Chains A and B, each alone.
Chain A
Amino acid sequence: MIPHRLTVVRAVLLVLGVLLTVSVLPRWAPPPDLPLVLVVAVGLRAGSASGALMGCAAGWLLDLVPPGGAPLGLTALMYAGLGACAGLVQRSVRASVLLPAGCVLVSSVAAQAIRALAAVLGDTAYDLGAAAITVALTTALGAVLIPPILRIERSLVHRGLA
Chain B
Amino acid sequence: MAFRASVRRRVLVGALAVSCGAIVIDQAAPSLTAPVRSAAADVAGPVQNWVTGRDGTITRLTRERDAARRQVSADAADRATLQRLTALMGSAPAQGRLFVPAQIVGYVTGTTPSSLRRLTLDVGSADGVSNNLTVIAAGGLVGRVISTSRWNCEVQLLSDPTAVVGARVSGSGTVGSVSSVAPVGLPTRAPGLLTFTVAGLGPVAVGDKLVSLGSVDNRPYVPDVPIGTIVSVDPDRGQGSRTAVVRTDVSFDRLALVGVVLPADRTSPRPAVTGR
Contacts and interface: CB of A to CB of B under 8 A. Distances in A.
Interface string B31-42: 001001100110
A49 B3 CA distance: 11
B274 to A, nearest CB: 93
Contact of A73 (B2, B8, B21): B21
B202 to A, nearest CB: 74
Contacts of A72: 22-23, 25-26, 33, 36-37
B98 interface: no
B77 interface: no
Contacts of A19: 44, 47-48, 51
A20 B51 CA distance: 8
A51 B83 CA distance: 74
A56 interface: yes
Nearest to A74: B23
B40 A46 contact: no
Contact of B19 (A22, A27, A49, A80): A80
A73 B51 contact: no
Contacts of B20: 73, 77
Interface residues of A, number: 31
Contacts of A162: 1-2
A80 B11 CA distance: 12
Contacts of B27: 71
Interface stretch (A2-10, A109-117, A137-145): A2-10
A53 B12 contact: yes
A23 B16 contact: no
Contacts, number: 88
B203 interface: no
A74 B19 CA distance: 7
Contact of A64 (B37, B47, B48): B37
Chain B interface secondary structure, helix, strand, loop or mixed?
Answer: helix
B72 interface: no
Interface in A37-72: 46, 49-50, 52-53, 56, 59-60, 64-66, 68, 70-72
Contact of B23 (A6, A20, A73): A73
Interface string A63-93: 0111010111110110010000000000000
Nearest to A56: B15
A23 B40 CA distance: 15
19 contacts: A6-B1, A22-B48, A23-B48, A27-B52, A49-B5, A53-B11, A60-B19, A64-B40, A65-B40, A66-B40, A66-B44, A68-B41, A71-B23, A72-B22, A72-B36, A74-B19, A74-B23, A80-B12, A162-B1
Interface of A: 3-4, 6-7, 19-20, 22-24, 27, 46, 49-50, 52-53, 56, 59-60, 64-66, 68, 70-74, 76-77, 80, 162
Interface of B: 1-2, 5, 8-9, 11-12, 15-16, 18-23, 25-27, 33, 36-37, 40-41, 44-45, 47-48, 51-52
